[in-house]
Structure 1
Amino acid sequence: MNKSKEKLSGGNRLHKFSPLFILIHVIWKSIVPLAFGLYTYSKVNSANHIIIAFAVVISAFSLLQYWFYHYWLENDKIEIKEGIFFKQHRKVPYTRIQNVNVVQNPLQRILKVSTLQLESASGGKPEAVMRVVGLDVVEELKRRVKTANSNSSATIDETQYEVAEDKKLESADYLLKVSTKDVIKFGIISQKGMVYGALIFGFLAQNQIFMMKLMTYLDLFFTIPDFTKITFAEGVIYVSVIGLVMFVFLQLMSVLWALMKFYQFQIEKQTDRLQANMGLLSKVSATIPLKKIQLYRISENPLHKFFNARTITIETAGGVNTDKSGIVMRWLAPIMKKVDVATFIRKVEPKIKIGSVDWQSLPHRAWKRVFKKGIYLSVFILAVLLTLDYLPFFSIRNYIWFVFPLTLPLAFFYAKNFVKKTGYYFDDDIICFKSGVWFGKQSFVKIKKIQTIMIHESPFDRRNKMATLEIDTAGSNLLLHHVKIPYLELHDAYQIRNFINNKLQSEDFDW
């Protein structure tokens, strides 16, 4: 134990297999897309070979980072030095590390190594991505971070044996285990295959060379008919069959995406944090400190309702917030039965009692403002169509006047349902907001997590003596659904703001 500890406390390089995984990462992220693009978008020539060769040289240069990457596991911090020409020297106290995320692909599991990502409150991108380290380093770092965040006055050296004993006594409390059947359901609910299908369709539409090669390949299996020589009924049958095949293919892609990401998803509560594990080929293990969770979000769409299920996501303070930056852990429950949602969230955060939330509706007159927006949109569509009608290759004047009879009932239906399905609630502990006509979402924020309270008044709001109240938390993504209550009566908006301000003044900010 002492020898291992001395080795980890001194300067260390990444694992000896690290160059292999760095090379694989670079090839997959850089060389493969470049080679594929050059192959499909133009004819292969000597210039393309030069570009690929240059990319290979530049990518291989990244392998040198292995020899220039060193780290030290000190008693109270991790120290990292990296960089060839531009040196970086970072010292990250364990108390600043919020999440310790671990990823293992199949090859890494065989070689008993993993990619380690450390997140702090700085946000945006990981504090460090270590590709790759041994599993003993992962466990040691997790232990040090956990001990440092336990608010104990003892040092890691003095408490290492106590922590080991506590770990044996601590029993994992599994909050959720998602079965393979439910993962398949979630794949269908997510419809991610439609997104990938749109990308494929866009690629084929812009790439005639690849399209011709694909058609030539498909001719080996079946003959594409000449639609000018077949009957209308035969054409309908053919298009229907092809459409059905494409639909099934896209559903399979959605299910495959869900299985790859959420296979054997399980989340457990360990004292002051959550531990999530998931993945089919690449296993992901993510740590989520409970005190860092800023917002809970419940999502539903028509397919959620069909399966009587819901999806629960979270936002945390700092850490990674985009997939391009690193491992994103925002899934608290990819899929869960509707009746279990309230109990599940209460186990995670006892102060959020969904079952006792008494939603307050927006002012009744708010539907008129929403309806007016629908009218303005209809007028805009009509103006665009009238403009297009003056072009020589458009002749739609006889159909333009159907815009209002078609869009106005839809605008009326949307306005009424918008007000009906939008609501808010607040008490001494939480503030909540729900919205969505077809795709419903509910956001829950603890009062103690609020950083900023904003009241927005547009010219239309001032005319109607209304306002929009918006809540901001640490690390929140304002592009996603959050607490932003529109069409409030002006005095109600200020009443809510004053109530929250008074609560925040009497409590310490906890993020």
Structure 2
Amino acid sequence: MTTPDAPSPGAAPDATAERRLHPMSWLFVLVQQLKQFVLPLVALLVFGRGDRNELWPLIGVAVLVVLSLWQYFTYRYGVAGDRLVVRSGLFERSLRVIPFARIHNVALQQSALHRVFGVAEVRLESAGGSKPEAQMRVLKLEDALALEALVRHRGATAMESSSEPESTTLLALPFGEIVRLGLVSNRGLVVVAAAFAAIVQISQRAVMDTFRSVGKWLFGFAGEHHFGLTQYVVSALALVLFAILVLRGFSILLALLQYHGFRLSEIGRRLTVERGLLARWRTSASRRRIQAWTLTEGTLHRLLKRRSLDVDTAVAEEHQQQRALRELAPIATPAHCDALIEHLLPRAGWTQLDWRELPASNWWRLVLPTIPVVIAITIAASWRFGAWGLLALAWLPSAAFAAHRRARRMAYAANAEIVAVREGWWTRHWRFAELDKLQALQLTRSPLDRRCGTATLHLDTSGAGALSPPLRMRFLPHEDALALYASLSRTLARRPLRW
């Protein structure tokens, strides 16, 4: 996809004239529909032999072509003042009026086929609803960029803007940083595991036969060369190392495909991210739509002296979060992440926060959920392998040590602008939000909390995804929890919610 400084977005769409989609939009609608119906069509083609059943796949494709053309000829959009007007349908007509101020996220996506035709798919999303406010498949790239600029000008101010604000690059990832991102991510393992699960669902016998053949060959090779115990151990370690290298290499390849040309830019009060090698993806959202922040640091992050910075935006549905502005810094140095936070939250005083550590004496409560699992595994392993199964109990000291380290890192901080928590040991995270973005407070006490004189304070914001760590303060002394709850409640009652 072309960057904003290459083809100019051009003038905004004409406010008086309705516009069609791109003349080739029916082709992209057809491709999208074929993705949904490809399995039934292939099943009809493969198993529907005899008589006239072989014609059904062709009839199905023909119907999809007609529907795609129908959508092109009956879809119109135009601009009326400070809102977008979308008309669709012929017999059952639909008129949708979308105020620009309601649009929270603008996503432009280009696959390789999109780039060939110079078009883009546009999604306009809000914080409510189960689907985008408008989904235009597809527009000319110039029209898509012009529509994005129109939302940027009128969505925030609801007024015409005569000049385009200057774009400032906040973060760009060179090739070396993308390689580091591939190293710290598990994308390769996730894709391989998903592919393996799909293959097992299709043909479990073929997978088992393959494993038997490979195992027979490996043990046969080892038997021919008279491997001893040492050689077996070294060979197993070599295979594990080879598998790790292959998966990390695959992760680097996926990172290059997804994050090539990554650029985080700021235009006025709006943030824009674009990335991708073959398929280009571009999304933008107003800074005020950011609800919560997550700073992450895994073990490999620390070895490479890097962190990741993600945000939750005001998009309600989880599947929309995948398209929403989420990764501000997929990977960056700690100093660069702190600088980004300081720039985007200038009044928060992020680097000057006064962190209050929680009592480390509660470490044993972190290991409690692990004990029943380890006991169950030990019983199952002892029943299967005898006394050797007791080795599973060795996990308990390791879990206790990790819990102790986690408890020592748990802390929280709060000032007049933000509230933040930090947790984790192997994988560490900092989770924080502006006070103006908090929607609800909840103070809970379990029987164990009452026994230990502690409480948990939950802080809710909009747009939190399933993978985002919770914004909560565990093991707070009860008096401190009540005082913090009262203080935050007064602040929430006095200040309006901004989202």
Which TM-score band applies after superposition, normalised by the shorter structure?
0.7 to 0.9
Aligned pair 1:196/2:203, yes or no? no
Quick one: which amino acid aligns to residue 61 of structure 2?
Answer: V
2:333 corresponds to 1:337: yes
| Secondary structure of 1:188 counterpart | helix
Deviation of 1:224 (Å) = 5.2
Say if 2:364 and 2:403, in contact at 8 Å, map to a contact too: yes
Q: What percent of counterpart residues are identical?
A: 24
CA distance in 2, matches of 1:375, 1:244: 31
Deviation (angstroms), 1:456? 2.0
State the shift of 1:262 in Å: 1.1
1:230 is aligned to 2:224: yes
Cα distance per residue 1:236-274 (max 9 Å; x no partner) = 787666655543332232112211211111112222111
Aligned position for 2:61: 56
Compared CA separation, residues 509 and 45, structure 1 to 2 (3 A): closer
CA contact (8 A) 2:292 2:432 kept: yes
Match of 1:397 among 361, 386, 394: 386
Partner SS for 2:363: helix
Alignment check: 8 A CA contact 2:86 2:96 kept: yes
* Aligned equivalent of 2:5: none
Which of 179, 183, 198 in structure 2 is aligned with 1:184? 179
CA RMSD of aligned residues (A): 3.4
The answer as to whether partners of 1:8 and 1:72 remain within 8 angstroms in 2 is yes
Q: What amino acid is the match of 2:256?
A: L
Amino acid of the structure 1 residue aligned with 2:304: F
Name the amino acid aligned to 2:148: K
Contact 2:12 2:149 survives alignment (8 Å): no
Q: Is the 8 A contact 2:378 2:392 kept in 1?
A: yes
Q: Between 52-61 and 406-415, report the one with greater CA deviation.
A: 52-61
Q: Which residue number in structure 2 is paired with residue 160 of structure 1?
A: none
Give, in whole Å, the separation in 2 of the partners of 1:466 and 1:186: 39
Distance between the aligned counterparts of 1:112 and 1:148, measured in 2? 26
- Say whether residues 1:82 and 2:75 are aligned partners: no
CA distance in structure 1 between the partners assigned to 2:66 and 2:427 by the alignment: 47
Q: Which runs of 5+ in 2 are unaligned?
A: 1-10
Which residue in the other structure is 1:476 paired with?
Answer: 464
Does 2:278 align with 1:289? no
1:346 to 2:353 alignment: no
Q: Secondary structure at the match of 1:254?
A: helix
In 2, the alpha carbon distance for the partners of 1:259 and 1:243 equals 24
Question: Which residue number corresponds to residue 510 of structure 1?
Answer: 498
Give, in whole Å, the separation in 1 of the partners of 2:29 and 2:94. Answer: 19
Shift of 1:397: 2.9
Q: How does 1:95-494 map to 2 (within 5 A)?
A: 95-122=101-128, 124-151=130-157, 156=160, 163-164=161-162, 166-167=163-164, 170-208=165-203, 211=206, 227=220, 230-231=224-225, 233=227, 243=240, 245-318=242-315, 321-322=318-319, 327-385=323-381, 389=383, 394=384, 396-404=385-393, 406-477=394-465, 480-494=468-482
**Matched-pair contact (CA < 8 Å) for 2:101–2:156:** no
Cα offset for 1:305?
0.9
Q: How far apart, in 2, do the equivalents of 1:346 and 1:37 lie?
A: 56
Q: 1:50 to 1:365 in 2, by over 3 A?
A: farther
- Number of matched pairs: 480
- Tell me which residue corresponds to 1:25: 32
SS of residue matched to 1:474: coil
Q: Given that residues 166 and 268 in structure 2 are in contact (C-alpha distance below 8 angstroms), is that contact kept between their aligned partners in structure 1?
A: no
Contact map agreement 2:362 2:475 (CA 8 A) in 1: yes
Structure 1 residue 435: deviation in Å? 1.1
CA distance in 2, matches of 1:361, 1:89: 55
Q: What per-residue deviation string (whole Å, max 9, x for no partner) do you get for residues 392-436 of structure 1?
A: xx3x232243343x1331232022112112211111111001111
- Unpaired runs of 5+ residues, structure 1, are 157-162
> Which deviates the most, 135-144 or 353-362?
135-144
Q: Compute the displacement of 1:37 (Å).
A: 8.1
Equivalent residue letter for 2:143: V
Q: One-letter code of the match for 2:172?
A: K
TM-score by length of 1: 0.83
- Counterpart-to-counterpart distance in 1, 2:88 and 2:236: 57
Give the deviation of 1:446 after TM superposition: 0.5
Distance 2:233 2:407 in 1: 42
> How far has the Cα of 1:510 moved from its partner?
1.4
Preserved CA contact (<8 Å) 1:314 1:332: yes
2:319 alignment partner, SS class = coil
Match of 1:13 in 2: 20
